Amino acid sequence: MTAARTGGRFTCVGLGPGDPELVTLKAARLIGEADVVAYHAGVRKESHARRIAGDLVRPGTTEELLRYPVTTGSTAHPGGYAGAMAQFYEESAARLRAHLEAGRHVVLLAEGDPLFYGSAMYMHDRLAAEFATEVVPGVPAFAAATATTGLPLARQTDVLTVLPGTLPEAELARRLADTQAAVVMKLGRTFPAVRRALEAAGRLEGAVYVERASMGEERRMPVAEVDAEQVPYFSLVVVPGDTAPRVGPALREAVAPERAGEVVVVGLGPGPDCWLTPEVADELAQVDHVVGYAPYVARVPQRAGLTRHASGNTVEADRARLALRLAAAGERVAVVSGGDAGVFGMASAVLEVADEQPAVSVRVLPGVSAVQAVAARAGAPVGGDFAVVSLSDRLKPWPLIEQRVRAVAEADLVLAVYNPASRSRREQVAQLQKTLLEVLPADRVVVVGRDVGRAEESLAVTTLAGLDAESIDMKCLLIVGSSRTAVTRSGRVWTSRDWRGTGGDPR
């Protein structure tokens, strides 16, 4: 409970999914003690929360009905739906605030759990800092749904994902494919898209539809049998973890060479779909499995028949071996990298262990690299000879990186710097800058590209001395020019290919 600042006491009470017998003892006691009981209701509809509470509200208690101005219909509000709802929440909070300032105990009823996809959280946001506030948890609808179906939702290390059906269909399919157990809420009009997403993710079989869980009108059936025209808002889909495709024992050992499939290692480009090559897109449309670092796997559209294997950022060898085992069992597998798979990507990791599965064919397809993307945005800074170095010291020691950086500077090559910083590596850009300034002039041109190709893209042209090392993070790529790198009046950066007539020390 939060400390009181002024006035009365505010309690958000979860009532559970609908069955009054699922209201907790604490919730029942607090409702009976309240001076004011508040609850939400839809346009021209009865309040489900008030119905669940029933005669727990003692006679004479002040009641505040908070009726939504709009649910799924249109609104004339100048701010649209979001504006109308924001105004409604402000006005509702003002009504409750008046009671609290008068010293009353206000209990706000919430279906399910108050802070789980509920309107109570918006009142909590506005009032908790001003008044003593308590939240009483309630049984969420998906818990009632899994109980009524008798389906174990998640076992052992299964990951459970709760998804709103209002997500874009492609995103919903991706997330369904990337988890073991799932609950999809907020159906109603979204149900057709949810069903298509389940099918695309390969999760339609085994998915169960539950309507009005724990209520008298409860219904449950396989999702594939549901009439989309008869789906109310108070319904959800349960996808048990047992229905997720898993790497079985057959994939732990290589099978006969004649059954072996193929691993194709691809680069997705640095960001936007338009930088994905048609060759790579065609391969991704045909493979059975996609293996890779989770953010890159997330960029591959989900479709029926595709199984996704996402993992963390430091398990390249394990990832490569998984792909090879899948291919050894006769599957077609894509291993994905951002940018180009051969530039600090998964191509070398796969080939490093490829001899463990000699019957498996491995192909590497090119992609647009991050250095190409940043260079193009800047102009043509890698128009002449250039070198590429990663500042990550996870697989090589920092003294070796420093030695190579110094050699590049002394050779007067343009230097492209990958992986300049991370959450745990904050000092290396400053060390890079110091090392380069020992060799190169302070006014050497530097390009800083961040999130190139994405909505947050930024590009800055500065100098070696003017580089703000503290501002550089993992989303950046740096290009340090050579003595032949120049900046046009319009700010475009380019490096001459013609080295004739430079004379003397190129630095």
Tell me the domain boundaries of the chain.
9-138, 143-243, 249-365, 371-495
**Average confidence score pLDDT of the chain:** 90
pLDDT score recorded for residue 248:
47
Structure confidence by residue, pLDDT tens digits, 247-297:
544 444 444 445 578 999 999 999 888 999 999 999 999 999 999 998 899
Structure confidence by residue, pLDDT tens digits, 73-104:
678 888 888 899 999 999 999 999 999 999 99
For 75, phi and psi rounded to 5 degrees?
Answer: -140, 150
- Here the tokens at position 19 are 């069955």
- CA–CA gap between residue 436 and residue 409 (Å, rounded): 7
Calculate mean pLDDT across residues 131-136: 97
Residue 196 confidence (pLDDT) above 80: yes
- CA–CA gap between residue 211 and residue 145 (Å, rounded): 8
With cut-offs at 50, 70 and 90, classify the pLDDT of residue 498: confident
Q: What CATH number belongs to 249-365? A: 3.40.1010.10
- Rounded (5°) CA angle 92-98-101: 135
Topology classification of domain 9-138? Cobalt-precorrin-4 Transmethylase; domain 1 (3.40.1010)
pLDDT score recorded for residue 258:
53
pLDDT score recorded for residue 3:
52
- CA–CA gap between residue 374 and residue 387 (Å, rounded): 15
Bridge partners, 446 (sequence order)? 462, 480
Torsion over CA: 274, 276, 280, 286 (sign): negative
Q: Does domain 143-243 have CATH number 3.30.950.10?
A: yes
Residue 72 confidence (pLDDT) above 80: no
Calculate mean pLDDT across residues 427-446: 94
Q: What CATH number belongs to 371-495? A: 3.30.950.10
Torsion over CA: 286, 287, 288, 293 (sign): negative
- Here the tokens at position 391 are 């500042």
Query: Residues 368, 371, 375, 380: what is their CA dihedral angle, to the nearest 10 degrees?
Result: -90
- CA–CA gap between residue 214 and residue 16 (Å, rounded): 9
Structure confidence by residue, pLDDT tens digits, 350-382:
999 999 999 999 999 999 999 999 999 999 999
- CA–CA gap between residue 224 and residue 239 (Å, rounded): 12
Residue 1 confidence (pLDDT) above 90: no
User: What residue type is assigned to position 237 of the chain?
Assistant: V
Residue 46 confidence (pLDDT) above 80: yes
Q: Which 3 state secondary structure label does DSSP give 222?
A: strand
Residue 216 confidence (pLDDT) above 90: no
User: What residue type is assigned to position 238 of the chain?
Assistant: V
> Residue written as tokens 């924001």?
86
pLDDT score recorded for residue 321:
94
pLDDT score recorded for residue 247:
52
